[in-house]
Amino acid sequence: KNQVEQSPQSLIILEGKNCTLQCNYTVSPFSNLRWYKQDTGRGPVSLTIMTFSENTKSNGRYTATLDADTKQSSLHITASQLSDSASYICVVMSSGTYKYIFGTGTRLKVLA
Amino acid sequence: NAGVTQTPKFRVLKTGQSMTLLCAQDMNHEYMYWYRQDPGMGLRLIHYSVGEGTTAKGEVPDGYNVSRLKKQNFLLGLESAAPSQTSVYFCASSYSIRMTGKAFFGQGTRLTVV
């Protein structure tokens, strides 16, 4: 069964600190993996998109990594800001169905 | 450039009532999707459309119908609302199904069925 699991479920960090969110997937065949940021009460917004051949992709203070062999991805946030408080959702697309499989997200709270 | 706009943003229905959620996109995207988001679960695909006049079932289509009469609009209908349909509904659109490009999401519709 195609699944996307994220850890931790929730995380609290102090402003200025770094953090890393994890995503493990069992989706096959793999097409691409995305990280989305979802602010409370808003729709998800795309942060990064990675295909099979990409290991790292950055978007400002956000850096995503992908290990297609172990089917793991991580999202690293550098020098966190209060505005980083949100849910971060890992999404994997299966090339067989062209449908998205969503993780349940990691809820990040950044404290001053 | 509004992107993806959903209406209404909030709605309370009584069991058995019907309603239609409207999604409009101004990016000339071919593909449009309706998802529901429930606590502790990832977004789940209800229905999707690969172009004007087409619709297809997602993973949780029961109790919902959709229509794509115009390329820019994707309507989600609930014919007889049930409490189990209490959820936050998101519409999304994208340029291609392969989606190495971005999907754009609306701001969501919070629906409560009592």
Identify the pLDDT of residue B3.
Answer: 93
Mean pLDDT of A6-35: 95
State pLDDT tens for residues B79-103. Answer: 999 999 999 999 999 987 665 567 8
Q: Which of A31, A42, A100 sits opposite B107 (nearest CB)?
A: A42
> Tens digits of per-residue pLDDT, A65-74?
999 999 999 9
Say if the Cβ atoms of A49 and B100 lie within 8 Å.
Answer: yes
For A60-107, the pLDDT digits (tens) are: 999 999 999 999 999 999 999 999 999 999 999 888 776 788 999 999
Among A46, A93, A102, beta carbon nearest to B43: A102
Position A23 pLDDT exceeds 80: yes
Q: Is A47 on the interface with B (CB under 8 A)?
A: no
Q: Which residues from B are below 8 Å from A45, CB to CB?
A: 105
Lowest mean pLDDT among A47-51, B5-9, B15-19, B65-69: A47-51
Pairing of strands A106-111, A10-14: parallel
- The alpha carbon of residue B65 is apart from the nearest alpha carbon of chain A, in Å, by 19
Residues of A in contact with B44 (CB under 8 A): 102
Give the nearest chain B residue to A37 (CA atoms).
Answer: B105
pLDDT score recorded for residue B101: 60
